[in-house]
Amino acid sequence: MTAITVEGSRNFFGRLQVPGDKSISHRALMIAALGRRPCTITGLSNGDDVVRTRRAVEALGAQVEVGESGVVTVTGGVRGARGPIDLGNSGTGIRLLAGLVAGFDFTTTLDGDASIRQRPMDRIIDPLTEMGASIKGSGENGSLAPLTIEGRPLRGIEYTLPVASAQVKSAVLLAALRAEGPTTVHETVPTRTHTEEMLADAGVRLEREACSVTVWPGEVEPPDVEVLGDPSQAAFWVVGACVAPGSHFIVENVYLGPARGGFIEVLGRMGADITVESSTGNIVTRSSELEGTRVTAEELPGCIDEVPILAVAAAAAEGDTVFEGIGELRVKETDRVAAIAEMLAVLGAGCRIDDDMLAITGVGRAEALGSGTVDSRGDHRMAMAAAIAGAVGRGSMTVEGFEATNTSYPSFARNLEHSTVWAP
Ligand code: S3P
């Protein structure tokens, strides 16, 4: 395990680009693998999760070449993998690939690290099985990875998501490409829309209504894709610049599509000085005094990955911030409810957890945040949230398990070094 120590009392000054969006990168590789003609992907995430997906599509038969300028060329072809495919820490990788391979006539074993082996897979096993897939999971109820998927002919279904999850929606939509008849997925709360948008761009017949999407089976003609910066990574710098006095920071060329910018709205309600330039995708943040807000269960999926860093904003704010409908956070890379509670204790902020509700009482300003040691619990977003809290707080913060940042943002530590200066 690698630990880093971040000195506090810093502010954020300058500009940077974050890695390509992780969700879009996974999908770009998978959709390209399903096509026949070569296509290019620019700006692919360099995090380990996406590297695993790249290796997975290669193992399944696609050819992937990385050019000098980082442009990736994929020549599709899915024929089946020889051995088990290891998706590492990636929930998106394992769940979407399960849907992708379910209708091919070969057997695939999908596996991952210790965290992945504890995360619920019944949420994809259930709808895919309803479509006719054969999936054998592990664990007492067969609902955990590794998953062995014996390809079968699939039929289209109509499915209402029992949890607000873009991963589940996407697994079903990818399986739908090889099913007989159309498949419709209904959502009660909207989640990120990358899969439906990217399948439509790839020429797939698809209809969207307010809270449902229908996909018809058919060939995929993947276009070239340019992956913009990941808003979930931008959120770390945005919160840092909001709470550290004397900051003025620009994150450039960020993806600003539906169900991904929820954290900007939440911070705006808290009083943050953030300007989004839609023509450039730049997010410009100046320091401001924050106060608590209420994040409802309906808006949570739009900022689900940003809750760890929003918790840092809430800890520095004046008053109470309440997050409702937090159940899904317990089954992320770690139990993020428990991990956030641990981090808040180190920061000296108040924390109350009541079923599906998390209430944080802020200390009023960044300089009053406490410091000490936070364990990432192997979770990249917890590691980065704790590091930002350390940079803006008064003491020095040690983040254990910092190597988890490689999952999505290998250059995070370097960026932190270059984007912070000692506060005047
Ligand atoms: C993702 C969806 C979200 C998110 C994850 C990426 C995706 O998970 O937390 O980091 O790319 O579809 P759920 O759909 O399980 O909420």
> What are 101-160's pLDDT values in tens digits?
999 999 999 999 999 999 999 999 999 999 999 999 999 999 999 999 999 999 999 999
235 in the same domain as 218: no
Strand partners, 158: 184
For strands 396-400 and 420-422, give the pairing.
unpaired
**What angle is formed at CA 394 by the lines to CA 392 and CA 396, rounded to 5 degrees?**
85
Residue 247 alpha carbon to ligand 1 centre in Å: 31
What is the total count of domains within the chain? 2
39 in the same domain as 13: no
> What are 239-274's pLDDT values in tens digits?
999 999 999 999 999 999 999 999 999 999 999 999
**Banded model confidence at residue 99, pLDDT cuts 50, 70, 90:** very high
- Quick one: angle between helices 412-419 and 231-243, nearest 10? 30
Q: How large is the average pLDDT for residues 59-70?
A: 94
- The response to whether residue 376 sits with its C-beta less than 6 Å from ligand 1 reads no
Q: Is the pLDDT score of 26 beyond 90? A: yes
Task: Report the run of H or E that residue 335 belongs to, with start and end.
Answer: none
- The response to whether residue 170 sits with its C-beta less than 6 Å from ligand 1 reads yes
Cα(117)–Cα(59) distance, rounded to whole angstroms? 21
Query: What is the domain-level CATH number for residue 373?
Result: 3.65.10.10
- 366-389: string of b/e by CB count within 10 Å (b at 16+)? bbebbbbebbbbbbbbbbbbbbbb
249 in the same domain as 192: no
237 in the same domain as 170: no
399 in the same domain as 291: yes
Q: Is the pLDDT score of 68 beyond 90? A: no
Cα(153)–Cα(151) distance, rounded to whole angstroms? 7
- The response to whether residue 23 sits with its C-beta less than 6 Å from ligand 1 reads yes
Q: What is the pLDDT of residue 69?
A: 86
272 in the same domain as 157: no
Q: What is the pLDDT of residue 23?
A: 98
What 3-state class would DSSP assign to 109? strand
**Banded model confidence at residue 421, pLDDT cuts 50, 70, 90:** confident
For strands 10-17 and 420-422, give the pairing.
antiparallel
Q: How large is the average pLDDT for residues 350-363?
A: 97
Which mutation among 23, 194, 307 tests ligand 1's pocket best, with the greatest number of atoms within 8 A of CB? 23
DSSP letters spanning 143-202:
-EEEEEEE---EE--EEE-SS--HHHHHHHHHHHTTEES-EEEE-SS----HHHHHHHHT
Q: Is the pLDDT score of 422 beyond 80? A: no
Q: Give me the domain span that covers residue 394.
A: 3-20+228-422
> Which 8-state DSSP code applies to residue 229?
B
Residue 130 · residue 267 · CB < 8 Å: no
For the chain, the average pLDDT equals 97
Residue count (the chain): 424
Residue type, 99: G
Phi, psi of 88 (to 5 degrees): 60, -125
Q: Is the pLDDT score of 1 beyond 90? A: no
Q: Is the pLDDT score of 424 beyond 60? A: no
Residue 366 · residue 243 · CB < 8 Å: yes
190 in the same domain as 267: no
Question: Is 273 marked active-site?
Answer: no
386 in the same domain as 309: yes
The residue from 226, 256, 278 where one domain ends is: 226
- The response to whether residue 337 sits with its C-beta less than 6 Å from ligand 1 reads no
Q: Is the pLDDT score of 55 beyond 90? A: yes
CA trace torsion 260, 265, 267, 271 (10° rounding): 160
Q: What is the pLDDT of residue 144?
A: 98
**What angle is formed at CA 111 by the lines to CA 105 and CA 113, rounded to 5 degrees?**
165
- The response to whether residue 165 sits with its C-beta less than 6 Å from ligand 1 reads yes
The residue from 194, 226, 258 where one domain ends is: 226
Distance of CA 104 to the CA centre of its chain: 27
Q: What is the CA radius of gyration of the chain?
A: 21
Whether the full predicted model's pTM is greater than 0.95, yes or no, is yes
Phi, psi of 12 (to 5 degrees): -115, 125
Q: Is the pLDDT score of 191 beyond 70? A: yes
Residue 168 alpha carbon to ligand 1 centre in Å: 9
Identified catalytic residue from 305, 335, 354, 375 = 305
Q: What is the pLDDT of residue 5?
A: 97
Q: How large is the average pLDDT for residues 348-360?
A: 97
Q: What is the pLDDT of residue 45?
A: 98
Phi, psi of 266 (to 5 degrees): -60, -45
- The response to whether residue 403 sits with its C-beta less than 6 Å from ligand 1 reads no
Nearest alpha-carbon partner for 331 in 168, 149, 148, 110:
168
Residue 92 alpha carbon to ligand 1 centre in Å: 6
The residue from 226, 245, 280 where one domain ends is: 226
77 in the same domain as 219: yes
**Banded model confidence at residue 196, pLDDT cuts 50, 70, 90:** very high
85 in the same domain as 70: yes
> What are 325-344's pLDDT values in tens digits?
999 999 999 999 999 999 99
373 in the same domain as 262: yes
Q: Is the pLDDT score of 44 beyond 60? A: yes
Q: Is the pLDDT score of 423 beyond 90? A: no
For strands 134-138 and 107-111, give the pairing.
unpaired
Q: How large is the average pLDDT for residues 303-310?
A: 98
Q: How large is the average pLDDT for residues 371-395?
A: 97
330 in the same domain as 235: yes
Q: How large is the average pLDDT for residues 20-41?
A: 97
